[in-house]
Amino acid sequence: MMHFTSTWDVIVVGAGHAGIEAALIAARRGLNVAIFTIKLEAIGRMSCNPSIGGPAKGHLAREVDAMGGEMGRAADLSGIHYRMLNRSKGPAVWAPRAQNDREAYHRLMREALEAQSGLQIIEATITELIIHEGRVCGVLSQIGREYYAPTVIIASGTFLRGKIHVGKISYSGGRSGEPSADDLSLHLGALGLSVQRFKTGTPPRVDLRSLDYSCLEEQPGDDDPQGFSYYRDIALQNRVSCYLTHTTPETSRIIQANILESALYSGIITGIGPRYCPSIEDKIVKFPQRDSHHIFIEPEGVNTHEAYVNGISTSLPPHIQEQIVHSIPGMEQATILRYAYAIEYDYVNPSEIDASLACKKLPGLYFAGQINGTSGYEEAAAQGLIAGINAGLYLEGKEPLVLSRSNSYMGVLIDDLVTSGTNEPYRMFTSRAEYRLLLRQDNADERLMPIAHKLGLVSQQRWQRFSQMLQLKAAELERLKSSNCIARGDVKEPIKFSQLLRRPEISFANLAEYGYTAPPELSKDIQNRIEIEIKYEGYLVRMQEEIIRFNQAENLVIPPDTDFFGIPSIAWEAREKLAKIKPRSIGQAMRIPGVNYSDSSALMIWLRKNPSGKADE
């Protein structure tokens, strides 16, 4: 029988996308974990769109899966519509996206937490950290119960001093139907942490039965659905269609005529919103020349008639929302099931954390997810996973896991946050990654599973299948590079299959016409990886060379207690920035805005003379 005490190794505050990954990964590494949520019924709730993936987010979801996380599995088991986005573009930006059954996703996540040994779920609102001798040692709940652990991960999402806005009406709330967590936010501020304010928003939901489908363009899922989890054999099935429509000049007119009714434009909301996920009033005001914007109607599940209206996030009052919805083709008679709203919330400035997601001021404390200024389920899950791993490594007295910009989007995400900070809700884009042709969605397992395996996060069965895949791929690549095709059509003389495959008009499937027989166990997935590696070989080799140069600066480690103010050859502004960010390496120091090339060279020279990071040695 499982026995729980009220003392744990790790306490996780929040059972959203970040908290779930943090708690599961820590428990899977053998730690005793307690996870807190304000509402048990809302574990793993998708606050906004019931969808996982999309550009860069699909990459992150696959990386989380490769590292032993839960998101990919839950997304595949609850998927109802799958599309590989950007297929007409280069492979770096292909992006798997799934529409998910909202209820099923939540249920799967709750079940995963409940099934995990060494993990206890507790419904309680945490109001304070318990601190002893400058270290975190537990948390206090709203009803006065104390819980102890040497590490605490806060993953509280949009709940910190959350305030919901609909038109001129605003009230406190963590998201629709759930209370905010005000005390914890005030407590973090009182501890001297920099707490700031962002906002986000969500569109209305409509009843699918009230739509006129003759005016909507059906968007079926792909014939070959692609999910997120590696080596799990989950059967993927498209079970619904999505639909495309658009706003009209009448939509724009309604919004312009009522713009001052919007919480955003009447000055009620002061927090900064996500530039790349703007509200419909933002789109109309900022792009007045466009008389139409795409709207996607996305079912919320298979046992509901509710649909998410992607593209009209708004904080306008309900009667204006109705006018907007009814101005859109196919939705003239639509019934609104839930109204749109905007939410303002507190986040902790990511300059407070280091690359392991640990709080610089309070040992034992970690932050993950929306609280670090990010937006999005996948961004949150990635951070939760890393925070969970690092809380464990900290307890074991080991070096933290810091992924690199050169091996993962997770590395890019965390490096961006802790090095440059963010002045708007941060979401991931493929353009943020310098090495994106290497950081593809198809090869997240190759990039990260070996790291996860070393940490004991990959089951024997998955590791075996991964290793078999690598062997098969390497053998087939070798065969394609060493054996000749037959001459045919434009190919006047036999050439190596790899040279043939390099031609833009030739795909793996065409090779058979030139005498190639694939071994029966060579899956479509491996064929795809081989094709990309051969077609883009030149670019990939050049990128690997760049990474070697990049890693030289990354490997020049800066001691944690370096006295940056004591380095006279560095500009004062740069010293301030360095002292605040505390970079781990010269490479990271070079990326800090305000630290220029001469500052980082001077730092390097100074560290050669003062390797401990202290002057006068």
Ligand X SMILES: Cc1cc2nc3c(=O)[nH]c(=O)nc-3n(C[C@H](O)[C@H](O)[C@H](O)COP(=O)(O)OP(=O)(O)OC[C@H]3O[C@@H](n4cnc5c(N)ncnc54)[C@H](O)[C@@H]3O)c2cc1C
Compare residues 375 and 562 and give the one whose CB is closer to ligand X: 375
How far is residue 76's CA from residue 74's CA, in Å, rounded to a whole number? Answer: 5
In terms of CB distance, is 126 or 403 closer to ligand X? 126
Phi and psi, residue 277, nearest 5°: -130, 60
Block residue for tokens 């599973």: 449
Nearer to ligand X, 126 or 418 (CB): 126
Q: Residue 439 to residues 53, 298, 410: CA-CA distances in angstroms?
A: 15, 29, 10
- Please state the closest distance from residue 575 (CB atom) to ligand X, in A: 33
**Beta carbon of residue 537, minimum distance to ligand X (angstroms, whole number):** 35
Q: Which is nearer to ligand X, 21 or 354 (CB)?
A: 21
The contacts of residue 289 (CB under 8 Å, 6+ apart) are none
Tokens representing residue 100 in the block = 């998910």
Nearest approach in angstroms of CB 91 to ligand X is 24
Query: How near is the Cβ of 112 to ligand X at its closest, in Å?
Result: 14
Distances (CA, A) of 121 to 47, 149, 158: 20, 15, 20
Cβ-based nearer residue to ligand X, 380 or 530? 380
Helical spans, DSSP H, in 560-610: 572-581, 586-591, 597-609
Q: Residue 54, Cα to own-chain centre: how many angstroms?
A: 10
Q: Contact at 8 Å (CB) between 1 and 84?
A: no
Type of residue numbered 274:
P
Asked if residue 124 lies in contact with residue 136, where contact means CB atoms within 8 angstroms, the answer is no
Rule CB under 6 A: which residues touch ligand X? 13-19, 36-39, 42, 47-48, 125-126, 155-159, 175, 181, 184, 200-202, 277, 343, 369-370, 375-377, 380, 427
In 6-90, alpha helices (H): 17-28, 57-66, 71-78
| Shortest Å distance, C-beta 29 to ligand X | 20
What is the three-class DSSP state of 67?
coil
Nearest distance from residue 454's CB to ligand X, in Å? 26
Distance CA(102)–CA(302), nearest Å, equals 9
Considering beta carbons, is residue 39 or 580 the nearer one to ligand X? 39
Q: Nearer Cβ to ligand X, position 35 or 480? A: 35
Compare residues 214 and 270 and give the one whose CB is closer to ligand X. 270
Strands (E), 208-305: 217-219, 242-246, 294-299
CA–CA gap between residue 342 and residue 47 (Å, rounded): 12
Residue with tokens 């932050």: 367
**SS3 at position 349:** coil
CA distances, 513 to each of 300, 465, 522, 534 (Å): 44, 30, 17, 18
Nearest to ligand X of 225, 373 (CB atom): 373
Residue 216 phi/psi, 5-degree rounding, is -110, 145
Q: Do 484 and 501 form a contact (C-beta atoms < 8 A)?
A: no
Q: Which amino acid is at 92?
A: A
Q: How far is the CB of 93 from ligand X (least distance, A)?
A: 18
Q: How many residues does the chain have?
A: 617
Q: How far apart are the first and last CA of the chain?
A: 58
Quote the CA–CA distance of 356 and 529 in Å, as a whole number: 31
Least gap, CB of 146 to ligand X (angstroms): 14
93 DSSP assignment: G
CB of 478 to ligand X, least distance (A): 42
Least distance in Å: CB of 481 to ligand X? 42
Residue with smaller CB distance to ligand X, 338 or 481: 338
Q: Which is nearer to ligand X, 29 or 106 (CB)?
A: 106
Could you tell me the smallest distance in angstroms from the CB atom of residue 514 to ligand X?
Answer: 45
DSSP H or E stretch at residue 479: helix 460-482
Q: Least distance in Å: CB of 455 to ligand X? A: 22
Least distance CB 256 / ligand X (angstroms):
23
Residue (41 or 573) nearer to ligand X, CB:
41
Nearer to ligand X, 149 or 558 (CB): 149
Task: Order the strands of the 51-53 sheet from edge to edge.
Answer: 51-53, 95-100, 79-85
Contact 580, 419 (CB under 8 A): no
